[in-house]
Amino acid sequence: MGGFSQQSANALHDVAERLVSRYGAHDDGRAAQIRRTVDAEAERFQDASVHAFVPILVERAVRGRLETGPRPDEVA
């Protein structure tokens, strides 16, 4: 994740792994889709002047998609 600090990139990685564990651990394809969706959502915030809350915002958006919206492969 190019435009993020190492701390933010690590936090986003943790978000992805937490979501994979909850929603896609049994399926490698689904896990990859979730990770791509996290990356795509994070890209929206790369130009933000403050990155402190990006992991929280990304997790909420992706979790919302996973719980109520289309599958990650349909949006990313």
Q: Which ranges in the chain belong to alpha helices (H)?
A: 6-23, 28-43, 54-68, 72-75
Closest Cα partner for 29 from 76, 73, 62? 73
In this prediction, residue 68 carries a pLDDT of: 83
Q: What's the pTM? A: 0.82
From first to last of its 76 residues, the chain has per-residue pLDDT tens of 568 999 999 999 999 999 999 987 788 899 999 999 999 999 999 999 899 999 999 999 999 999 886 555 555 4
